[in-house]
A and B are shown apart, each in its own frame.
Chain A
């Protein structure tokens, strides 16, 4: 079963060989490294840029305007903050030109904590990203969704931000999360598409015969069905919330985990359906809690589904701190962990109006 980073690589291969991707670029994205997380190893259209994030985003916009299909990487989302006004331009160009120029580009960037990344390799970007209208924003929680969402992102005629949950990049898919066409055996896949250590100049990947799979942008997935509490989450927190829910099942608490997959547009129908069933809502994500995307979801739920609720909706998010400290205890105390999620779900499940 492929890891998420292998899934991304395979999607990019399909992108450049079948879907017209012309340029995959960013800092250390091309040979010899193929990306700091190996997401771009062995591809044909990769190249290294100067260490200039604004230039990377500007280049992507320019290539897109000129009719190419770029996939640009910002090495860590922690370093995307100086590109925000260019991201805004990517998002507003179609609108401000009155429909004259669309901007078909994909920007991918690793996000979130969980790899002991300290202050500048642990940022989240979902709150920022959802503040930039004109972008579609997706964030997978497993390899199959990563593959299918990236293919949809590539096909989309608009700017699409593909947020890569750093902590899950090396995680393998579970049964049911296969990528159509991948060899069943991990070792075989690794031999085919992972670059060897050392000299890679002669190495070429052998791509499996992959099928196209499109996970539609804007469609959530029920990661675990349940009846008592709805958990709205995405990315790294999805497997964490599923694990929390499995443990709580022993105590007869039955939580439904909704993996949003797309933050914009988001799947309001799926959210509404789940909330109408459980009457209780918890939002979980890693971004800092003040002006958090989960707050938006809660606001809309309160406005539109107030009389369905049996408990005040709750947000479990990153602490509003200037950074995430390196030491274990510091990182754990800064972003949601499984135990905290369990407690929050249990409290909500027990809450009676």
Chain B
């Protein structure tokens, strides 16, 4: 990681100055814009839920500082030459950073027929984008860690530069699937190119970290398997950006697993089941980043307020549009039970 240059941002033009630490102003602005957009998107989703425009909310407010850099750093595309993503239900920041249209998240919340991720079948935040190798998010905790080894194995066999990235929470690491991922990805001579991410918000639903872990750091579990590991402050976009870049570069070139634990916040509780109200006693990565940007005079408070107001209005308008979109028809329950072609195998 590069060290922070002296703070002379005020003397420089905002497009070239180092906004904070090792990030160029351009990157910092990009990160901020996406973090803010993801936050406002999640707030809109929560409002939709509270107003009865959706049955359930779960999402990622509090993880933007980590998830946005992740989305910017993946090699996005379809097939073995690109990265595969096996995410969980808090990944809106990653998807937005990859270029997903936020209105599609609203469609999934409202379970409209136009929901591109699940056609009105699945909860909010359950993304699926085959053209970007984003494997379907499914509700059972931790299963993605058992599935990720398969896409990584396929990349190994083809000898591509693509890697597999898998992400989930801290409590879920108690499931056998996490051990599966560690065991299968680290076999000597058969290592798999997987970036194993744990976003640690220190809770299951209500059970605190201490109630379910004996290990002091989840990342330490990787050490027994000879893995590179790190535990980082996932509330800091700069730290996250550099740590992710380092880990991704390592996995891409070494073709070996890397276990990255990011400490993050859970700003609206677990899900709508626990009320989805803002929690005041956790670090808010966006507030913290905005303070820094303001101090370094990269953006003024007024500019950021204006951006927030603009996105709030944009997503409000989008939600009004989505409200008018048709719901799936009852008879569509029978669609897509069986495939008639091998789409993942290249047939169309």
Q: A interface vs B, CB < 8 Å?
A: 20, 22-23, 49-50, 52, 54-55, 57-70, 82, 85-86, 89, 92-104, 133-134, 136, 157-158
Contact = CB atoms under 8 A, between A and B. Distances in A.
Contacts of A23: 153, 157
Given A50-B183, A57-B146, A97-B118, A63 B136 contact: no
Interface residues on B, range: 35 or more
17 contacts: A49-B184, A52-B180, A55-B180, A62-B149, A63-B153, A66-B344, A68-B154, A89-B140, A95-B335, A96-B126, A97-B136, A98-B115, A98-B335, A100-B117, A134-B338, A157-B341, A157-B347
A65 B151 contact: yes
B150 A60 contact: yes
A62 B151 contact: yes
Contacts of A49: 184
Interface string B115-131: 11111011000101110
Contacts of B136: 93, 96-97, 100-101
B184 A67 contact: no
A89 B80 contact: no
B167 to A, nearest CB: 15
A100 B130 contact: yes
A59 B149 contact: yes
B155 interface: yes
A50 B181 CA distance: 11
A65 B130 CA distance: 9
A134 B180 CA distance: 25
Contacts, number: 161
B324 interface: no
B6 interface: no
Nearest to A51: B183
B118 A98 contact: yes
Nearest to B187: A50
A136 B338 contact: yes
B242 to A, nearest CB: 29
B177 interface: yes
Interface of B: 79-80, 84, 115-119, 121-122, 126, 128-130, 135-136, 138, 140, 143, 145-155, 157, 164, 176-177, 180, 183-184, 187, 335-347
Contact of A63 (B150, B180, B187, B343): B150
A96 to B, nearest CB: 6
B177 A58 contact: yes
Contact of B140 (A85, A97, A102): A85
Nearest to B183: A50
Contact of B146 (A54, A96, A133): A54
Given A98-B119, A134-B337, A64 B344 contact: yes
Contacts of B146: 54-55, 57-59, 61-62, 86
Nearest to B141: A85
Residue from B84, B143, B347 having most chain A Cβ neighbours under 10 A: B143
A168 to B, nearest CB: 28
Given A66-B155, A157-B345, A86 B339 contact: no
A63 B342 CA distance: 13
Nearest to B146: A58
A262 to B, nearest CB: 13
Given A97-B136, A101-B136, A52 B338 contact: no
A336 B57 CA distance: 50
